[in-house]
Each structure stands twice: as C-alpha cells, then as structure tokens.
Structure 1
C-alpha cells in the first residue's frame, strides 16, 4: 500500500521511528548551546557549557576512568572472546556446542540488574574492594559473550581445509592461529572489539552496582548529576559522547568496508 506521492506506508513508519529515536537527542544537542541556562527557552548561542565541561577536573578524571575501563575491558574481552569462540567452534558434538552457546548467551539476555547484583554479592563475599578492578571485571564478563557471537560466524565461514593445509605444510598451532585463523576472522574481531567498547561506555546498570565511593564512570556520574536537576553542562557532555559514538560507528563502517574490498580483490585473484 502506498500513501500520496508514491510513498509507501513503511517509509512513513520508518521516518516516524527515526524521529522518535533522534528527536530527544537533537533537542539535547540544541540546548547544549543555549545561553539561557535552562531547557525551557532558547535565549541564544553559547559555548559556555562546553567550557564548564573541560574546566571540571573531577569530570575529566571520570571521563578518563570511563575510557580506560572501556579500552582495557574491550581488549581483554576480545582476547577471551577469540579463545572462547575457537573453543566452541572446535567442539564436535552438536549437543555440547549448543549447550556452550546457550551458556554464552545467558549474560546477554540476562537483565543487567541481575548481573550487577550478582557481581556485587560476589565481590562482597570475596572481599574485593569496589572500584576500578570490580568495574573492569564486570565489564569483561558481560562483553565476552558479545565478542564470541561476533567471531563465531566468521569461524563457521572458514574452510577447514585452510587449517589442514597449513598443518600439512609444517605450521604449528601458533602459526595456524596467527597466520591463518586470525587474518580470516579479523573483521569479526574488530566487530567484537567495537561492540564491547560501545557496551562498556554505555553501561549503567551493572556499573552502578559495582562502583566504589572513590571511582565512577560517566554513566553513573551523569545519572547522579541529573537527579540534582538538569544542568546544560550535562547536555554538553552528552553531546560530546554522542559525537564520539558517531565517530566509532563511522570508523567501524570504514574498517569493515575496507576489509570487504580486500576480500573481494583476493577472491578475484
């Protein structure tokens, strides 16, 4: 069915969905430049709130904490995800493989509140002080299953004869991993890394449970400040985070596009 002018109703529905999703973000971005200090009336353009963000030493330290946790957790999650995906892929029995995949998916479908509370209880029982270490461990835990799901399809696409040929030519296990398997699945590895990075930067529920008094991340800090009243420096900070997320998405798109062209060129040869 088509609307007036040849438009399909599905197009109108898609536009409505994007408006609902992006209108609040656009509203937030526009008022981050409001000189009036409130979100009830636009009085003029200013960069004052961005200046406040960069002059707030505590906030800059929290930004640094957030990115350090995200980068370290993404790196560790990617390494563990590669090992886990290869281990699951090599399981011969289909029932065992399905069971392992189900266990891997538990942390993805499980509510974040349950995961956060579970880690809080665990860290309390073993006497681990809440802070950088507890947040890092928690982020690694919920990021590894995501990385595994990103890498497994690439392993399933790989022809097993590539590994057999490498072994026949004298390659040991490390050579097979670094010179055959990793180059083939690198697009999945990049996808898993960026997904883990995004999830770590975005997470609030789990982090809220395992953050100590002397350590915080941006999501927890923004929530704490928003409870005291919406200040436009929060808008400015959120705008910067949104722009950074766009850069990540564009970077991931360019990397996958480049890898696709390389694979197409290799297939032609």
Structure 2
C-alpha cells in the first residue's frame, strides 16, 4: 500500500489543534521564569520561583503524598484490573461478558462529581475517616476500569490455540498464565499501569470530595492556591509536573517498543 500524501489543509488543521492545546502550557512555563511576579509583563529571567517552590516544605510533602497515592493506586489497580480482564475474557457466554464490560465502562463515563459524592457518602456511612486511606481507595476504584480496558484488547488478540498448545504440552493452569498469557499481555499491563498513574496524578474532582484535614494532593492544593491569586510558584510547580508527564510518556514509549511481541512461542 503506497504512502498517502497529506493535504495542506489537514496539516494546517493539525498544527492549529496542537497550538491551541500547547500554547497555554508554554505560556505558563514561560512566565514561571518571570522576575516581575506577574503573568502580564516579562521583566527578566529568574529561578527564584523554583527556589521558593523547593523551599516550601509543606508543598514538597504534598508532592510526595501525591506520588505515593498515584504509585500505590496504579500498582494495586493494575493487579486487580489484570485479574478482572482475565475473568471477563474467560467467560464463554457473550451476554455475560458484554454485561460485565458495560458495567466496567459505566464507571469510566460517569461524571467525576457523581463518583466523588458517592464515595463521600459511602465513607461517611461506613465510618471511614477521610484522609490518605479514603483517597487511595477512591483512586483504586476509578483506575481499575481503565486497566481493564487496556488489558482486555490484548487478551482478545491472543489466539486460543496458544493456550491449547500449552495444555497439550502438559502445562498447568499456572504455567499457562505465567509463561503464555502474562508475557503476551505485558504491553497492555504497562499501558494500564501508566494510564492509571496519569489518571491518579491528574484527578481533582473525586479527590476534592474524599480528602480530609491534614492530607491533600497536588490538584486540590493548586486549586486552593489559585483561588487566593495567581502566584508564579504555581507556574513553577506546573512546569515541573509537565516535564514529569513528558518523562512518563517517553518511558512508556520505550517500554512498549521493547516489549512489542515479534513472535509468540510456547515454552514448556
């Protein structure tokens, strides 16, 4: 199949879309180095806002809390999501499988405000104190369906003959899972983990409902700071988060390229 030539109009449209998406971010990054202290007139280059950011012990603790919640929720939801995807895949009844998929998808498309309010009511009724534990449970809950959606397509791509061949060679169910299924769906597992990590880092609405006194995450803290007035240390923090996100994307890209299956054999 020959290469299709991209029309100038399509190229212009793509450039326009990326400009609209990235221009506010670059604007924010640019003014994080402004010595004037405002986002109106750039008076000179400075790193004072980054120094002020790293001197703020409370904000650094919030950063660590956010990263801890994101890593734990991504790890736990990946384990649960992989098991859930395998369970859905194992169902032979198409109606049952579609019902479970629909229930999974409802959690993804539901508004965050409704999910957050629901968790707040649930934790209040259950007597669970709002704080780190409630935030962690909430993040795990909304990350699991994302992992399922990332892993399930890889399971559906896998030929059933691979599993049949492994059983014919005398492999146990655990051997089939460990040596055939998991290696095949590894790209989907990594994709689910990084998606869950990103969703957890970005979440505001759900976290806003379930966080308590003495514990908060970056999204809620940035919202609180922005309500008091725009300070350029917020720009500095946002710039570092943007760079961290880019690093995550690059790492995910290299991991998926490295784990891209070139062929699949059955090992006894």
Q: TM-score range by the shorter chain?
A: over 0.9
Q: Supply the distance in 2 between the matched residues of 1:190 and 1:222 (Cα, whole angstroms).
A: 29
Say whether 1:264 aligns with 2:262. yes
Indicate how the Cα distance of structure 1 residues 185 and 265 shifts in structure 2: closer, same or farther if over 3 A, else same: closer
Q: Which residue of 1 aligns with 2:3?
A: none
Q: Which residue of 1 aligns with 2:50?
A: 50
Q: Supply the distance in 1 between the matched residues of 2:57 and 2:172 (Cα, whole angstroms).
A: 51
Q: Please, what TM-score do these two structures have when normalized by structure 1?
A: 0.94
Q: Supply the distance in 2 between the matched residues of 1:208 and 1:175 (Cα, whole angstroms).
A: 44
Q: Which residue of 1 aligns with 2:38?
A: 38
Q: Supply the distance in 1 between the matched residues of 2:135 and 2:243 (Cα, whole angstroms).
A: 24
What does residue range 171-190 of structure 1 map to in structure 2 within 5 Å? 171-190=171-190
Q: CA offset at residue 14 of structure 1?
A: 1.2
Matched residue count = 260
Where structure 2 has 5 or more consecutive residues not aligned to the other structure, the ranges are 1-5
What does residue range 116-265 of structure 1 map to in structure 2 within 5 Å? 116-260=116-260, 263-264=261-262
Q: Please, what TM-score do these two structures have when normalized by structure 2?
A: 0.94
* CA deviations over 1:124-181 (Å, ceiling 9, x no partner): 0000000111000000010000000000111011111222222233322222211111
Q: Which residue of 1 aligns with 2:18?
A: 18
Q: Supply the distance in 1 between the matched residues of 2:7 and 2:181 (Cα, whole angstroms).
A: 47
Indicate how the Cα distance of structure 1 residues 265 and 164 shifts in structure 2: closer, same or farther if over 3 A, else same: closer
Q: CA offset at residue 259 of structure 1?
A: 2.0
Where structure 1 has 5 or more consecutive residues not aligned to the other structure, the ranges are 1-5
Q: Supply the distance in 2 between the matched residues of 1:33 and 1:88 (Cα, whole angstroms).
A: 50
Q: Supply the distance in 2 between the matched residues of 1:264 and 1:175 (Cα, whole angstroms).
A: 21
Determine helix, strand or coil for the equivalent of 2:43. Answer: coil
- Over the residues paired in the alignment, what is the CA RMSD in angstroms? 1.3
Q: Which residue of 1 aligns with 2:74?
A: 74
Determine helix, strand or coil for the equivalent of 1:264. Answer: coil
